[in-house]
Structure 1
Amino acid sequence: MDLIWQYALVFLAAATPWLEIMIVIPVAIGVGLAPVPVTVVSFIGNALPVFGIIALFRAWERRRGPLRRRWSPRARRIWERYGLPGIALTGPVVTGIHLAAVMALALQADRRRTAIWMTFSLALWSVATAALTLLGFEGWRWLFGNG
C-alpha cells in the first residue's frame, strides 16, 4: 500500500504546474522508485492537465473573451519561426508544459495538433530525463563506488 501512495505522489507532483517531469523523475528515481513506472506515471500525471487545458481553453475564451496577452516581439518571432513544434519541445524546459499549451492555444494553434505535439514533447522529455538520471546515478556509482 505504501508503494501506491509513493506513485500517487509522483503522479500529483508531475501534474502540478511548474513542477515538471525534469524534477519529479530524478527525485522519484533518486529515492529508490523503479525508473519505468516513475517515467510512465510522471508522463501521465503531466499530460492529463495539459489535455484538460486543451479541452477547456476555447470554452474559457468563449466565456471570458480571448486571452489578452501582449506577446513581446521576441515571443512573436519565435512563434513565427518555430511554431507549435518549437513551443511544445521547449515548453517543459523553458516555461513549463502547462503554460506552453496555454501559449500555443492563445496564439491560435489547432487543438488537435497542440495535443499531439505536447504529448510527443512530454514523451520525449520523460524518456530523456529518466535515461539521463539513470546515467547520472551510474556515473556517480562508478566515480565514488557503491558506498
Structure 2
Amino acid sequence: MFGIESLYNAEGFFAYSLVFLLAATPWIEILVVIPAGIALGLNPLAVSILAFTGNLTTVYFLISAYHYLTSIFDKRKSGEDKKPPSKRKKKALHIWKRYGLPGLALISPLTVGTHFATFVALSFKSKKCMVTMWITLSILIWTVIVTIVSYYGIESLKWLLG
C-alpha cells in the first residue's frame, strides 16, 4: 500500500511517478501532493503537470465509466435499507443547491474532492461535457494556485529559517 509518506522516501523517476499516482488517488489529490512534492525538492513544474494529469486521468475515467459504475452500485443497493446521506454527500448537496455545477466543481478540491464532486454532478443528470469542462477548469485553477503558494511559501520558509 502506498500513501503520501511513501513520497518522502522516493527519489528520481519513482518520486515523480508517485506524484502522478497519489494525485490520481481519490481523497489525496492535488492539495496534498503538490505541496509535498515541492517541499521534497522536486521540480515544481513537473510536480504540477504530473499532479494535474494524475488527478484528471481518474476523473475522466470516472466520467467515462459513470453509467457502468452506477449500475453496479444500484444492484448492490437493491436489497439494502436506505442509509442517511454521509457528511460528504450532505456537503456536496448543499454546495450543489447553492452554486450549481460551477460552484461544486470549483470548491470540490477544498471540500469533497474532485472525484466525489464528479460523481455527484453526474448523478444530478449534468451533461458529461459540462462536468468535464468544469472539473477540468477547477483542477487546472487549483493546480496553479497550489503550485504557486507551495513554491513561494516553501521558499519564504527557507529564507526565514536560513
Query: Does TM-score exceed 0.5, indicating one fold?
Result: yes
Summarize the Cα distance change of 1:83–1:24 in structure 2 as closer, same or farther, 3 Å threshold.
same
| Residue 40 of structure 2 corresponds to residue 31 of structure 1 | yes
Q: 1:103 aligns with which of 120, 127, 145?
A: 120
Summarize the Cα distance change of 1:77–1:24 in structure 2 as closer, same or farther, 3 Å threshold.
closer
Q: 2:17 aligns with which of 8, 14, 23?
A: 8
| Residue 124 of structure 2 corresponds to residue 115 of structure 1 | no
SS in 2 for 1:103: helix
User: Could you report, residue by residue, the CA deviation over 1:21-69 in whole angstroms, capped at 9, with x for unpaired residues?
Assistant: 0110011111110000100000000000100111111233356549988
| Offset, 1:4 | 1.7
Q: 2:143 — aligned with what?
A: 126
CA–CA distance in structure 2, aligned partners of residues 75 and 20 of structure 1: 17
| Number of corresponding residues | 143
Q: 1:141 — aligned with what?
A: 158
CA–CA distance in structure 1, aligned partners of residues 118 and 107 of structure 2: 11
Summarize the Cα distance change of 1:107–1:132 in structure 2 as closer, same or farther, 3 Å threshold.
same
CA–CA distance in structure 2, aligned partners of residues 87 and 8 of structure 1: 29
CA–CA distance in structure 1, aligned partners of residues 31 and 95 of structure 2: 23
Q: 2:61 — aligned with what?
A: 52
| TM-score normalised by the chain length of structure 2 | 0.79
| TM-score normalised by the chain length of structure 1 | 0.86
CA–CA distance in structure 2, aligned partners of residues 75 and 39 of structure 1: 26
Point out where structure 2 has 5 or more consecutive residues left out of the alignment: 1-10
| RMSD between aligned residues | 2.2
| Offset, 1:75 | 5.2
Asked if 1 retains the 8 angstrom alpha-carbon contact of 2:92 and 2:104, the reply is: no
| Offset, 1:12 | 0.6
Identity of aligned residues (%): 36
Could you list the runs of 4 or more consecutive aligned residues of structure 1 that deviate by over 6 angstroms after TM superposition?
66-69
